Structure 1
Amino acid sequence: MEEKKLDVKTIIGFGLITLLLLYMIYNNTAKNEKEALEKEKQEQIDKAKKTQIPEEATAAVVADTTVNDSVKTAKLKSTLGAFAYSAALPSAKSNVTEIKNALLTIKVANKGGYIQELTLNNFEQFKKGSGQRVELINKGNAALNLQLKTADNRLLNTREMYFEPVYTKEGQNEVLTMRLKAGANQFLEYRYVLKPDEYMMDFSIRSQGLAQVVDTSKPVDLDWSMKTYRNENSVTFENRYTNLAYEYEDGKSDKLGLGKSESEKPEDVSYVAFKQHMFTSVLLTDTHFKTADLTSENLVADETKDTIYTKNFTAKLPLEFKGGELSYNMNWYYGPSDYNILNGYDRNLDEIVPLGWGIFGWINRWIFIPVFSLLSGFLPYGICIIIFTILVRLAMSPVTYKSYVSQAKMKVLRPEITELNEKYKNDAMKKQQETMKLYNSAGVNPMAGCLPALMQIPVFYALFQFFPSYFDLRQQSFLWANDLSSYDSVLKLPFSIPFYGNHVSLFPILASLAIFFYMRMTSGDQSMSAPQQEGMPDMSKIMKVMIYLSPIMMLIFFNSNPAGLSLYYFISNLITIGIMYVIKNHIVKEDKIHAIIQANKTKPKKQGGFSKRMQDMMEQAQQEQQKRQLKK
């Protein structure tokens, strides 16, 4: 039989079959390995879910083929800790839940469980008409955090963890419960309750079952911080009135924020307020914080560049565990720094509004605010300021009258006082005695002109505090002023003048002119009524300087102050000029004053106790002086 030989075609056929078989074997093996790897990954993920470890957190660890199973497990535990349960929930995403009423729109983030955005629905920022609402919280300017210590000494920050939101309605109240879960029945809870037409909302922090997973032997710190946004026209003025206010030790109140950087550690704290000029954010608690670590940092180094934020506030407040759990009933207030609104809560929040201390605050609270509120109920705010100014000046007119009568009496007595000065120019003690006798016989009190002026100081200072703090003036226009709570700029300068600013305000100019003419009217009488004392400066020269210096000082100082305040002083000076004109030309006549003084000299005078003691002291001093001279 003839032997077959392998030809080229046969060899090629066997080669192709072999390559095909090898490809099929390789492809099948790779597929099996891929399926096995995917199955292993799925088993790891399923196992992680069963052990309360989220899929999102396990993905990176499972994909790491450089570590063994024990290392993977350790990584997962150290990454998530006791609260891994919450990260496996659908809420473990950067979502927000919105609650709102007619006044506030609030968006609470799942991550951290705190407010991500808070808008005041009825107020615009300083650019009136822009439609941009006032936002107290946005773009990460505020944060709330609890730092929890686990049983194995690890620290967990709630701001980095995901809460599960549950939204419900309780009557007309909107309720948002945010839970950070450590297990099916183990959680930390924030509860927000927003009521209709209220700036104040209920807020509570409580826990359940945490004693099993965190260290409850020591208080946990609640860290609250905020970089306050600029919301008003003048960043300088807003920054001046932005501060951190707090109440402590059963009713005491204080503030931080006047310096570049300040800190304080009060005890027994009942509320902390991050106050801006016209708006404020307040955290109140029913269970007082035993201590508080408060800081304020000024963020406005250059007023031409630093125009977004004003201050950076932080508050570290310890929350104590009771029975292994947290339970704190608190409140958030986000709204206007309006005295009437804050005072209505009856929780001493009116102290946040800077109305002045002592008698100055008393005048504002019990006189100026009620009167102005009454007038503003039926009058435009510009007209309201004018009427209010008239009422204040009329109320002070008796004091003005007494002051002018005293000046007129001193002016009439000036020739006689000059004569006494010349007669006893070498005996100062005798000169003082004779001058006091002249005052007593003429029925003139040399202090009568000073006391009325001193009585006006509390009113002046109270008004200076009232206008910048009265919220209702915000964005109220009058004539050329767009906002009575801010300066009335009629001209923008291309440069900045030191102490004056980069704009020209018209109301301060008018107020300065009014005070100039008033001082021109009264300077002659004041200099004439004040006798020149030996060794003392010439009052007439001083008054001539003050006539020009006072208006310039007012012009510089009031240029960046609220237009409402400048309007008040402009109208006030005009009214004072009118009152002084009437008193001088139609009520107080110098010839009548002179006749009264001469009549008083003829009447027997009963010397007052103070005057008698002063005279006795001077006589005794004179006797001592004479004895010393005799010994010499």
Structure 2
Amino acid sequence: MEEKKFDANSIIGFLLLGAIMLWFMYTNKPEEQVQETQNTETVTEAQQFGAPVAGNLETSPLSDSIANLEAQKRLGDFAYSASLGSKENGTTVIENELLKITVSNKGGQITEALVKNYKTYDSLPLYIIKDANAAFNINFGTTSNRIFNTKDLVFQPELSKSGENTILSMKLKVSESKFLEYRYELKPDNYMLGFSVRSVGLSAVINSSNAINLNFDLKSYRHEKSIKYENQMTALVYEKEGGKIDDLSISGDDEEEESEVSWFGFKQHFFSTILISETPLKTAKLSSNTLFKDVAKDSVFTKAFQVAAPLALSGGELNYNFELFVGPNDYELLASYDKNIENIVDLGWGIFGWINKHAFIPLFSLLGGFISSYGLVIILMTIVVRIFMSPLVYKSYLSSARMKVLKPEMTEINEKYPGKENAMKRQQETMALQRKAGVSMMAGCIPALLQMPVFFALFRFFPAAIDLRQQGFLWADDLSSYDSIYKLPFTIPMYGDHISLFPILASVAIFFYMRMSQSQQMNMQQPAQEGMPDMQKMMKMMMYFSPIMMLVFFNSYGAGLSLYYFISNLLTITIMLVIKNFIIDEDKIHAQIQENKKRPEKKKSKFRQRMDDAMKQAQEQQAQQKKRK
């Protein structure tokens, strides 16, 4: 048998092979935060610069070289931007007299937006964007099978001037001549920020077969005293399909997918963030979620908004021109930009909005131009509106007086034709009497109906008037919010945890107004007929129901709106008393009616003739049915 000998070369070979295997395993160990899906790597900011360095430890040239190699491996074409050394937490500020905008190197996005000339309800600086409540991101793929999110990458800032305008260019670079750029331009004394997104020389880098998505998210901060009221006025509003204005539900979570979106706005009660696209977004998915749930609990935010929209390449490059408005919901200010964004202010639909735009906004601005107290502006505006509407009040009251004079004769007709079988005959005789006397129930209803658009227009106007914000009057410290005179130690459902005085005064005034109106309406009401509901009882219920509803729901509404209703009802009561006691003479009205009855009846209109024929035919059918029975 051959004796085995020690082979030194074999041992050395095995050791070298083992060392090579250990080196291979070490250099190819799985990296943290690298997620592969279908051979496509998603690159985040943590991977852009390699592993974070703890404390203030200095890095050696070797570690820097390793970090650069790691960045080269993960970022591919965008490794050059990572090598330029811009700090992740670095920021650049651009500002004018109205805005202070802070843009972060990370993501090249706005991280702070301060509206300078306004304060929060608790006298703090008013930030629309702060502490990561907003995120702007573009998600895209590259030809090297990587997916990038711009919000995770570090841009290179370049600040410059163009005349009086401040320009900030944020570039994510492939090289000095190839980059993705966010360009911000701020003009003096302006809330509108020029904003463009473009790529230069990236047609060979961006993978056109992958979707390129813009995402803009924002959680709206609470800025007003009544968070419940503010939440009711907070919504995502947008313009689509060549001028159609729409919004998501304010009462709960909502989501829509729309086409041809030219602008969308994250609207809060008195402030908005609006992104306007020069080229309408072909499609956009918009969503809104309510963060404020419980009035008894304090909340920092009201709603969370999200917008996602695909971006199209032009010649292999991105090229989008936007404008970004960050500022107050001042209707005239927004209208001055000629972008249709003034429609973000809810002034009511149809005729209500038209009245506000063409009557009440100019009137309010005119009065506010020479009166410093907005409480007095509301009172004076209410007086003007009531004087303007007084002819309608007069017409309504005059019709009521005529019906009152005619009521005894209508009672005689009811007594002459009693019972259900004579209902048609009673109605026919009553209408003939009114026509002959020159009296019509519609003459009293039409003036009341004509006042309704004004009523609803002002209901929308005062909550939208930013000029009332933080303006005090008497005991109210803010006419745009509730005027609490006592804080309750508990919360009453629907009412709240405080007592507001102006809604109480408005409720008392509306009670007496409805009491006067009830007697007026009863004069116009025909005598009670068999089988008909008791209108008097219904009107009594309304007399108590309306003030109670106002007392409950207006407790958390703006004091300016309650002040208007209080003054308006007082003035209406005064006008009605003046008309009743000093203008209308019932004896003269009675004499006029008697004269009218003596005149030959005018030829019936075709409509009146058809009505009379239909009533006559119905009466004959009734008579035939009675004979058969």
Give the alignment's TM-score, normalised by structure 2. Answer: 0.87
Segments of 5+ residues of structure 1 without an aligned counterpart are: 1-40, 42-52, 64-70
Alignment pair present for 1:268 and 2:267: no
Q: CA deviation at 1:450?
A: 1.3
Paired amino acid for 1:394: I
SS in 1 for 2:451: helix
Percent identity of paired positions between Structure 1 and Structure 2: 54
Which residue of the partner structure matches residue 333 of structure 1?
Answer: 325
- Distance in 1 (alpha carbons) for counterparts of 2:560 and 2:49: 58
Equivalent-residue separation in structure 2 for 1:414 and 1:610 (angstroms): 26
State the SS of the aligned residue for 1:425.
coil
How far apart in 1 are the matches of 2:315 and 2:243?
29
Check if 1:621 corresponds to 2:618: yes
| Whole-Å separation in 2 of the counterparts to 1:166 and 1:72 | 25
- Structure with higher Rg: it is 1
Match 1:237 to one of 229, 233, 236: 229
Residues in 1 aligned to 2:47 and 2:348: alpha-carbon distance in whole angstroms: 56
Aligned counterpart for 2:143 among listed residues 114, 130, 151: 151
Aligned pair partner of 1:405 in 389, 398, 410 = 398
Structure 1 position 211 matched with structure 2 position 207: no
Shift, 1:360, TM fit: 0.5
1:134 touches 1:231 (CA, 8 Å); kept in 2?
yes
- The 3 A distance-change label for structure 1 pair 342 and 59 is closer
State the shift of 1:616 in Å: 1.6
Q: Is the 8 A contact 1:54 1:88 kept in 2?
A: no
1: CA distance, partners of 2:486 / 2:285: 45
2:127 to 110, 135, 143: 135
- How far off its partner does 1:74 sit? 9.0
Read off the aligned partner of 2:469 and give its amino acid letter.
R
Code of the aligned partner of 1:571: I
- Aligned-residue offset at 1:538: 2.1
| Distance of aligned partners of 1:94 and 1:409 in 2 relative to their CA distance in 1, 3 Å threshold | same
Letter aligned with residue 133 of structure 1: P
What secondary structure is seen at the aligned counterpart in 1 of 2:171? strand
Partner in structure 1 of residue 557 of structure 2: 561
CA distance in 1, matches of 2:536, 2:264: 53
Deviation at 1:565, TM superposition (A): 0.6
What does residue 16 of structure 1 align with?
none
Matches within 5 A, 1:119-198: 119-127=114-122, 130=123, 132-198=124-190
Q: Could you say if the C-alpha distance between residues 557 and 58 of structure 1 is closer, same or farther in structure 2, counting changes exceeding 3 Å? A: closer
Q: Does the 8 Å CA contact 1:229/1:308 hold for their aligned counterparts? A: yes
Match of 1:425 in 2: 418
Corresponding residue for 1:579? 575
Structure 1 contact 239–311 (Cα < 8 Å) conserved: yes
Distance in 2, matches of 1:98 and 1:515, equals 53
Matches within 5 A, 1:345-384: 345-379=337-371, 380-384=373-377
2:487 paired with 1:492: yes
Instruction: Give the deviation of 1:409 after TM superposition.
Output: 1.3
Q: Tell me which residue corresponds to 1:395.
A: 388
Per-residue CA distance 1:372-400 (angstroms, 9 max, x = gap): 11110011211111110001011111111
1:177/1:192 contact within 8 Å kept: yes
Shift in Å, 1:211: 1.8
Letter in 2 for 1:543: M
- Tell me if the contact between 2:140 and 2:210 (Cα under 8 Å) persists in the aligned partners: no
- Asked whether the 8 Å contact 1:257–1:297 carries over to 2, the reply is no
Pairing 1:435-446 to 2, within 5 Å after superposition:
435-446=430-441
What displacement does 1:628 show? 4.3
> What are the equivalent positions in structure 2 for 1:405-554 lying under 5 Å apart?
405-426=398-419, 427-530=422-525, 531-554=527-550
Does 195-204 or 470-479 show the bigger shift? 470-479
Q: Distance in 2 between matches of 1:126 and 1:164?
A: 37
CA deviations on 1:205-260 (whole Å, 9 max, x unpaired) are 00012122220245511100000000011100100010001101111110013232
Letter of the 2:386 counterpart:
R
Is it true that 1:603 corresponds to 2:595 in the alignment? no
Q: Summarize the Cα distance change of 1:592–1:54 in structure 2 as closer, same or farther, 3 Å threshold.
A: closer
SS of equivalent residue, structure 2 residue 305: strand
- Alpha-carbon separation, structure 1, partners of 2:405 and 2:125: 63
Letter of the structure 2 residue corresponding to residue 510 of structure 1: L
SS in 2 for 1:210: coil
Cα distance in 1 for residues equivalent to 2:377 and 2:600? 51
> For 1:445, what is the secondary structure of its paired residue?
coil
Is the 2:47–2:71 Cα contact (8 Å) retained in structure 1? no
Give secondary structure in 2 for the equivalent of 1:211. Answer: coil
Deviation at 1:454, TM superposition (A): 1.1
Moved more, 504-513 or 611-620: 611-620
1:312-364: per-residue Cα shift (whole Å, max 9, x none)?
00011221111110111110000001101111111111110000111010000
Task: Name the CA shift for 1:75/1:55 in 2 (closer, same or farther; >3 Å).
Answer: closer
Indicate yes or no: 2:296 matched with 1:301. no
User: Residues of 1 paired with 2:117 and 2:387: CA distance?
Assistant: 37
Distance of 1:477 and 1:615 partners within structure 2: 60
Q: Is the deviation greater in 492-501 or in 278-287?
A: 492-501
CA drift at 1:100:
0.3
Q: Does 1:317 align with 2:313?
A: no
The farther-off stretch of 138-147 and 259-268 is 259-268
CA distance in 2, matches of 1:141, 1:479: 37
**Deviation at 1:605?**
2.1
- Determine the structure 2 residue equivalent to 1:94: 89
Check 1:615–1:54 CA distance in 2 against 1; reply closer, same or farther (3 A cut).
closer
Shift of residue 77, structure 1, vs aligned partner: 4.8
Residues 27-71 of structure 1: per-residue CA shift (max 9 Å, x gap): xxxxxxxxxxxxxx9xxxxxxxxxxx99943888xx9xxxxxxx9
Amino acid at match of 1:617: A
SS state of the match for residue 534, structure 1?
coil
Matches of 1:295 and 1:112, distance apart in 2: 23
C-alpha distance in 2 between matches for 1:178 and 1:475: 38
Q: Helix, strand or coil for the counterpart of 1:57?
A: coil
Report the number of matched residues: 569
Confirm or deny: 8 A CA contact 1:200 1:331 kept in the other structure. yes
Deviation at 1:447, TM superposition (A): 1.5
Structure 2 CA distance for partners of 1:569 and 1:187, relative to 1, 3 Å: same
Pick closer, same or farther for the CA change 1:257–1:87 going to 2, 3 Å: farther
- CA drift at 1:405: 1.0
Q: Give the TM-score, by structure 1 length.
A: 0.87
Whole-angstrom distance in 2 between the partners of 1:421 and 1:109? 83
Contact 2:401–2:523, Cα closer than 8 Å, also in 1: no
The answer to whether the Cα contact below 8 Å between 1:473 and 1:484 also exists between their aligned partners in 2 is: yes
Q: For the residues of structure 1 that align with 2:51 and 2:538, how far apart are their CA atoms?
A: 83
Q: CA RMSD in A?
A: 2.1
Distance 1:78 1:460, change over 3 A: farther
Distance across 1 between alignment mates of 2:67 and 2:272 = 48
Q: CA deviation at 1:568?
A: 0.5
The residue number in structure 2 matching 1:284 is: 276
Q: Distance in 2 between matches of 1:338 and 1:72?
A: 51
Paired residues of 1:149 and 1:215 also in contact (CA < 8 A):
yes
- Helix, strand or coil at the partner of 1:165: strand
Is the CA contact 2:86–2:156 (under 8 Å) kept in the aligned structure 1?
A: yes
- 2:604 aligned with 1:612: no
Gaps of 5+ in 2: 1-26, 28-45, 59-65
Is 1:489–1:505's contact at 8 Å kept on the other side of the alignment?
yes
117 and 337 in structure 1: CA distance in 2 versus 1, 3 angstrom threshold: same
Code of the residue aligned with 2:139 in structure 1: it is Q
Change beyond 3 A, Cα 1:59–1:475: closer
- For 1:333 and 1:439, how far apart are their aligned partners in 2? 61
SS in 1 for 2:542: helix
Alpha-carbon offset, residue 186 of structure 1 = 1.7
Contact 2:270 2:464 in 1 (8 A): yes
1:237 is paired with a residue whose SS is helix
Of residues 221, 226, 238, the one that matches 2:213 is: 221
